[in-house]
Amino acid sequence: MSVGPMKVLVVGATGSIGRLVVAEALRQGHAVRVLVRDAGRAGALPAQAERVVGELTRAETLAAAVDGIQAIVFTHGSSAGGKAGAEHVDYGGVRNVLTALNGRAVRVALMTAIGVTDRLGHFNRATEGHDWKRRGERLVRASGLPYTVVRPGWFDYNAADQQRLVLLQGDTRHAGNSSDGVVSRRQIAELLVRSLGADAALGKTFELVAERGAATNDFDSLFAALDADTPGALDAVRDAPNMPLDQEPARVRADLERLAAR
């Protein structure tokens, strides 16, 4: 079953996926608000989207952005800054928006990445990008909010006839290149928005790839075939248990406890 139109906040709205999410959410009849650091950077976004200025890395600037919203789509990501950037943006952005909500219930769609549980690959060893995205996932699960976590494959590496969406679980593809799976930005955006109103997507985490075949239209059936995450668990169903909580940084454990308490 799907719900009706919502007031949706898009985080990362000026990025390559975020722009498509804004357009898709408007197309599906939602009211859209975009969080931007600088209003001037939002000029290319549709005029119907409400602009709110705030700094994702500072929770105290986000009250206006979350006021009155019913759903959030996170598509943000650090493009530079190494390990510090990954912590402050990929992880800190999720933490700060959830903190600004102050316990209010909203539906969440969080985009991370295929291979997010791969801690030993070159990318994660260099940037800790996977670790910080995975910690962001954990914050969403700990918050108790209704959520869907989407881990897309490599953006726009798909051929013209690769349009059939396939959802995987367990995050077992760790080649670190497009052989892990590919999917178009447009289809990522559509699925993120579709997940907001789909009961069948509640509490589920999955990798998103496209394989040869016609474009997917029945999203409810796609979501319904998945296993839900274990209630109360920090990690996704079938994920490798390779990030022990007792070995996590104290500041991360404190964030989890604070959000769970709300």
- Give the mean model confidence (pLDDT) for residues 225-239: 97
Ordered domains of the chain (ranges, CATH): 7-261 (3.40.50.720)
pLDDT greater than 60 at residue 18: yes
- Give the mean model confidence (pLDDT) for residues 99-122: 97
Output the pLDDT for position 207: 98
Pairing of strands 204-211, 164-168: antiparallel
- Give the mean model confidence (pLDDT) for residues 32-44: 90
Output the pLDDT for position 80: 75
Sequence-distant (6+) residues with CB within 8 A of 70 are 6, 7, 8, 106, 107
pLDDT greater than 80 at residue 261: yes
Read off the amino acid at residue 131: D
Output the pLDDT for position 39: 85
Structure tokens at 143: 């918050």
- Give the mean model confidence (pLDDT) for residues 147-170: 97
Asked if 48 contacts 70 with a C-beta cutoff of 8 angstroms, the reply is no
Confidence class of residue 1 from pLDDT cuts 50, 70 and 90?
very low
pLDDT (tens digit, 9 = 90+) per residue, 58-94? 999 999 999 999 999 999 999 777 899 999 999 999 9
Per the prediction, the chain carries an average pLDDT of 96
Sequence-distant (6+) residues with CB within 8 A of 17 are 75, 111, 155, 185, 188, 189, 192
Output the pLDDT for position 151: 98
Of all residues in the chain, the percent with pLDDT exceeding 70 is 99
Output the pLDDT for position 164: 98
Sign of CA dihedral 117, 122, 128, 132: negative
Output the pLDDT for position 2: 55
Return the percent helix, strand and coil in the chain, to nearest 5: 40, 20, 40
- Give the mean model confidence (pLDDT) for residues 11-26: 97
Burial of 232 (0-12, 13-18, 19+ CB in 10 A): exposed
- Give the mean model confidence (pLDDT) for residues 238-248: 98
Pairing of strands 7-11, 204-211: unpaired
